Structure 1
Amino acid sequence: MRSALSIRGRRGALMIGLLALAHPSRDADAAFLCATTADELRDALAQVSDGGAYVDEDSVIAIGPGTFATGGTPFRSEALTTTAKLDIMASWNPHCGGRPSGPPTTVLDAGGVGGVLVVKRPHAFVYLRRMVLQNGNADVGAGLQVNYGTESAYEVSLYQLIVRNNHASGNGGGIYIAASAPPDMGAIGIASSLIVDNTSGSDGGGAYLVISGGYTSIVNLTTVASNTAVGTGGGIAATGSAATYDVSGVIAWGNTPASLRFDVPSTVASSDVDLIAPGAAVTTEEVVQLDPMFLDPAAGDYRFGNVPGLVGTGAPFNYVPAYLDDYPLPPTGGEYRADMGAYTDVIFRYGDDGGSRL
Structure 2
Amino acid sequence: MNRSKASSIATTLSIAAALVPACAAAATWCVSTAGDLRAKLQVAASNGEDDVIRLVRGNYLTGGNGFSFNSTQVFALTINGGFDASCTSGSQDPRDTVLDGGGVSQVLAINGPGSVAIRHLTIRNGLRSGSSGGGLQMSGSLSTSQVVLAACILRDNSSDYAVGGAIIDGDGEIHVDGNLVTGNSAPNNGALYLYGGTTTNVYMTNNTITGNSASGAAPTMVFINYRNGAVPSSYLANNVFWGNTGGTDLQFYDGRTLLDHNDYAAITGSPAAGSNGNLGVDPQFAAAGNFHLSAASPLLGAGTPAPAGGLPTMDLEGNPRTYAGTVDLGAYERGDVIFADDFET
Q: TM-score band, normalised by the shorter chain?
A: 0.7 to 0.9
1:252 aligns with 2:241: yes
Taking structure 1 as reference, are residues 258 and 33 closer, same or farther at Cα in structure 2, changes over 3 Å only? same
SS at match of 1:285: coil
Q: How far did residue 356 of structure 1 move?
A: 7.8
1:206 aligned to which of 147, 167, 191: 191
Number of residue-to-residue matches in the alignment? 316
Instruction: Report the counterpart of residue 281 of structure 2 in structure 1.
Output: 290
Instruction: Report the counterpart of residue 323 of structure 1 in structure 2.
Output: 315
Instruction: Report the counterpart of residue 114 of structure 2 in structure 1.
Output: 124
Instruction: Report the counterpart of residue 55 of structure 2 in structure 1.
Output: 63
What letter is aligned with 1:144? L
1:222 aligns with 2:216: no
Whether the aligned pair in 1 keeps the contact of 2:287 and 2:340 (CA below 8 Å) is: no
Instruction: Report the counterpart of residue 32 of structure 2 in structure 1.
Output: 36
**Cα deviation digits, residues 282-324 of structure 1 (max 9, x gap):** 4531111111122334xx4211224342111112238631000
In 2, Cα distance between equivalents of 1:331 and 1:236: 28
Whether the aligned pair in 1 keeps the contact of 2:205 and 2:311 (CA below 8 Å) is: no
In 2, Cα distance between equivalents of 1:331 and 1:253: 23
Instruction: Report the counterpart of residue 137 of structure 2 in structure 1.
Output: 145
1:115 aligns with 2:100: no
Instruction: Report the counterpart of residue 17 of structure 2 in structure 1.
Output: 23
SS at match of 1:31: strand
1:276 aligns with 2:262: no
In 2, Cα distance between equivalents of 1:96 and 1:21: 9
**Cα deviation digits, residues 108-152 of structure 1 (max 9, x gap):** 00110010000001x2110110000000110211111113xx955
Taking structure 1 as reference, are residues 101 and 295 closer, same or farther at Cα in structure 2, changes over 3 Å only? same
- After alignment, is 95-104 or 321-330 more displaced? 95-104
1:156 aligned to which of 147, 150, 164: 147
TM-score, reference length from structure 2: 0.84
Structure 2 alignment gaps of length 5 or more? 1-13
Instruction: Report the counterpart of residue 344 of structure 1 in structure 2.
Output: 333
Taking structure 1 as reference, are residues 351 and 172 closer, same or farther at Cα in structure 2, changes over 3 Å only? closer
**Cα deviation digits, residues 13-63 of structure 1 (max 9, x gap):** xxxxxxx997232424110011100001001101111xx3x2x20110111
In 2, Cα distance between equivalents of 1:74 and 1:353: 33
Whether the aligned pair in 1 keeps the contact of 2:59 and 2:98 (CA below 8 Å) is: yes
Taking structure 1 as reference, are residues 356 and 239 closer, same or farther at Cα in structure 2, changes over 3 Å only? closer
SS at match of 1:43: helix
Aligned-CA RMSD value? 2.4
Mapping 1:47-196, distance limit 5 Å: 47-49=43-45, 52=46, 54=47, 56-80=48-72, 82-121=73-112, 123-138=113-128, 139-147=131-139, 153=143, 154-181=145-172, 187-196=173-182
Whether the aligned pair in 2 keeps the contact of 1:292 and 1:307 (CA below 8 Å) is: no
Taking structure 1 as reference, are residues 61 and 115 closer, same or farther at Cα in structure 2, changes over 3 Å only? same
In 2, Cα distance between equivalents of 1:171 and 1:357: 28
In 2, Cα distance between equivalents of 1:198 and 1:230: 12
SS at match of 1:42: helix
**Cα deviation digits, residues 50-109 of structure 1 (max 9, x gap):** xx3x2x2011011111110001111000002x1111111111112312223444411000
Instruction: Report the counterpart of residue 304 of structure 1 in structure 2.
Output: 293
In 2, Cα distance between equivalents of 1:172 and 1:208: 6
TM-score, reference length from structure 1: 0.81
In 1, Cα distance between equivalents of 2:189 and 2:142: 19
Whether the aligned pair in 2 keeps the contact of 1:22 and 1:322 (CA below 8 Å) is: no
Q: How far did residue 357 of structure 1 move?
A: 10
